[in-house]
Structure 1
Amino acid sequence: MPQDDRTPRPARRDTLRFLTATGAALAAAPLARAQTAPATPATPAAASGAMAMNGSGFYRQKIGDMTLTTVSDGTAPLAALLPTWGANPDRQAEFAATLAEYSVPATNTVNHFNPVLLEIGGKRILIDTGRGGASGQLVANLRRAGIEPDTISVVFITHGHGDHIGGLTTNGKPTFANAQHMINEAEFNFWVTQANPNDAVKNNLIGLKDKFKLLKSGEEIVPGVLTVATPGHTAGHHSVLAQSGGQSALILGDAGGHFLISLKHEGAYVGFDTDGAQAARTRQEIFARITDGKLWVTGYHFPFPAIGHLRRLAPGSFEYEPTVWNWS
């Protein structure tokens, strides 16, 4: 792969540092189980004594003729970023140096959860559903964006981890009652055939099995929106490619890994990747595809609003460039 001849752009790196230095750094182990309590709206600081919410929890980006909205499901505290998000045991000092270079806190930080809503061709497609339960903020933030759960046309699940499927049900009932539910066939079958499935799988995949349409790799979710095989994080993990008006966006789910370590360091893997070596290879392939095609990109655990572009720093090394915030 030829080296990119563009020189680093300090202003964009400064933007990244600014976003992450405020406590928006990524990190956290996956949720093994979903909670069963209903999602609750954020409580005003005056009533709760907590810090007031900084923003409205959603960000809209026009891409071609579609609207892509990242919708925060909130954050979770994390005591230490390493080694979870950069798990290679012999590269810890290397990873720590990158975090320090970008002024990203390595300890006492948070993990972000960012489902994506696509509005295209008169349909609303929700990609992943957050954690659910008392911690989940997806429904509250959808409503802040003026979107009621019963107006979602399709829910697509990238993979079966609890922080992606937990919001599928509320109090034992489908959260998105009118939506067609979709997931890759191999991914679905892996989780629902386990001898001892966890509670998230029991409540949100097995419990809703009659609502799911099982898709093959590369199959359309709706016209212009395709599944893309991105294995490694889980064996059947699938991302989503959305195309409209000559522009494209790749919604990575967890295929993107960490927004610094996974991008900058070829071969880096995440502690909860099912197959770390395969996940690292997949990331290299999709990062090159995004960069070469000048695609928009979202990462489920990237710092909110978790949307932007990638650029190549050197062979096998990439950098995430957050979008310039647009108020309209």
Structure 2
Amino acid sequence: MKIAVIGQPSAEVDALKSANVDVMYGAGRGEDEVIATCVDADIVMCYGLSPFTEKVFASLPRLRFLQQCTVGFDWVDVDAATRHHVIVANSPFFCLEEVSDHAVMLIMASARKLHHHIAAAAEHGWSRVKTIERIGAIHRIKGQTLGFVAFGKIARLTAEKMSGFGMTYLAYDPYLTQDQVKPWNVTLVTLDELCRQSDFISMHALLNDSTRKMFGEPQFRAMKPTAMFVNTSRGGTVDEDALARALRDGWIAGAGLDVLTQEPPDPNNPILKEPNALVLPHTAGYSVEAMADNRAQTVEQVRRVVSGEWPTVCVNPDVRAHARHSPARV
């Protein structure tokens, strides 16, 4: 059996090697590179955002199992995987603490206009007057409203970590009931109500066909001109042209972004030029502990498949009836 790994070598992955299992490493920046890396593989572990499309699955006749080692799997055509009898698993517990920490950081940095402080210090040195002139009005966080777009694991941790600031919580999540979010003191509202009432909006929706560009001009225009928008989910959930206009024309006060639709972004992306946008290079999921946990968790899923079992996580359960992988134990 051959395992192809798109990512950096690690001791945890290398421990899968045996007389019957060969592990090889490669790259996956585009479809052709993924195919070249994985063409002989029975199992693929992907630690980044590589395209697994219809073309890719059609070109990997031996592939049984794709372990996508991230929470999101929007780069994987799950329907194509199912058509080609390939089991797909994600890593649903990866970096929950880190991304919620990052969301809190971006909310706080936006509230206190941290990037303006840093820019003022770089330009003027120690000058309280010049710094206050640069940052403009800052308002007390206590008593303001934080709105969550989707209220899953990471949003819930973010709410718990922000609980000491005395904020009111709203959430838009059509898949939840009010009773389900009651433990976090959250009130469910429509997306329009959330936009109109929130002082901070934190995006947590997974990217799929129903959430692509779900936050666009109508939502940004509905927000308060003093409100801040934070995204630690996926850039594709946002209409970036609308976000650029919202920042430029003052529909909103600012944005804290860890993700963009295109990564790395086009240098001419107008959001990068907006002084009220704090943009980071998709680092929310990183910590030493998160990387170690993810390697251990995903290797365990692969070990189960190598041993003839089903993975404990499967994003395309319909494949069970005709998967290339025929487990001894279900």
Same fold (TM over 0.5): no
- Whose helix proportion is higher, 1 or 2? 2
**Higher-RCO chain (CA-CA 8 Å, sequence separation at least 6):** 1
- Whose strand proportion is higher, 1 or 2? 1
TM-score calculated relative to the size of structure 2: 0.31
